[in-house]
Structure 1
């Protein structure tokens, strides 16, 4: 799964920013023996898919608008704010986006897991842009922010062991503070602020 941020236009004419996990298309032509990550396009047509969980702004805006802007960012503060708060902007492309893809979405499946409704979507590219090119590096601090944010987003959800989530949150916060830069530490401070709200 690739973590991204997505902006979707809300009824207030602001762009809601949220985290969106992207699942790769199913393998074809015998590559990888037809195995995939299990979250691929229900139609098997080679498009990237994503799931929305619960009655989120992203889900509602996908239904209302039929698309949004998927963005690839490295800013841990934007990732935390998008995941744990209501984060709205006036323009569809974030200043922190390295690249973006305007997508049309189509709902292809739905269901429920542990009393939480989900919907699966295919994403079809319409237009894209690269804002900046960078040499990719592996930063444990940013990875720790992503994992801490995932754990934090599941707090209060009955399907998850709360003590285990708090242990994961504590562990990844320690890794981020030890391995990350000032922006990572700011993101972890922001994560704590959101949890205290």
Structure 2
């Protein structure tokens, strides 16, 4: 493992070794990815990881993540369990000075290669393969199932689609109301704060 600050600009050589993912991936695993922008700061954004060999991810629209992947060809995929951090990454412009978030439980430095592009209901998307070149586990905890956190994640997805062609506005708002009720019943203080951020960062 290398220190991520040793090469913050993201210059991955062809001869750099391939690493393993720090966690087992299945289905679609939600993560936060940081990518270095032209302003010298790291942009944090939510990124769904599709399990497979290789792991893939899809960016929607002309996002900072997409542009930075094209500029640098890499990023730092991080696994967090703080709903506020995830919400801010999913729905706001979230920039930091260092590539690794303080809330990350594990991270993988990955190369990103574009393999396919397309359009879905008027929104452009781009498919990427992600190959880890370095990774580490920062902390381990006994996993728990938190319905409130799960509802926050789903709320960020629904909120990000408000006003997007191809999605029914009333259906999305009904979903958001349901997720809010789950957070109210089953969430803790961080989940409630995260839901407030969903409202703050979106047109909900």
Same-fold call, TM > 0.5? yes
1:21 aligns with 2:48: yes
1:12 aligned partner: 39
Aligned residue for 1:78, secondary structure, equals helix
Deviation at 1:83, TM superposition (A): 1.0
> 1:171–1:137: structure 2 CA closer, same or farther, 3 Å change rule?
same
Of 186-195 and 74-83, more deviation after overlay is shown by 186-195
1:77 aligns with 2:81: no
1:31 aligned partner: none
1:89 aligns with 2:116: no
CA distance in 2: counterparts of 1:160 and 1:47, whole angstroms: 30
Q: How many residues align?
A: 177
Q: Runs (4+) of structure 1 moved beyond 3 Å?
A: none
1:151 aligned partner: 158
Deviation at 1:195, TM superposition (A): 2.3
Gapped runs of 5+ residues in structure 1?
26-45
Residues 92-124 of structure 1 deviation map (CA, whole Å, 9 limit, x = unaligned):
111111000000011111111111111100001
Query: Normalised by the size of structure 1, how large is the TM-score?
Result: 0.88
1:42 aligned partner: none
1:63 aligns with 2:70: yes
CA contact (8 A) 2:83 2:190 kept: yes
Aligned residue for 1:97, secondary structure, equals coil
CA distance in 1: counterparts of 2:65 and 2:184, whole angstroms: 30
Query: Normalised by the size of structure 2, how large is the TM-score?
Result: 0.85
Q: CA RMSD in A?
A: 1.0
CA distance in 2: counterparts of 1:78 and 1:192, whole angstroms: 15
Gapped runs of 5+ residues in structure 2?
1-27
The residue correspondences of 1:1-197 to structure 2 (distance < 5 A) are 1-25=28-52, 46-195=53-202
Aligned residue for 2:139, secondary structure, equals coil
CA contact (8 A) 2:107 2:135 kept: yes
Deviation at 1:62, TM superposition (A): 0.2
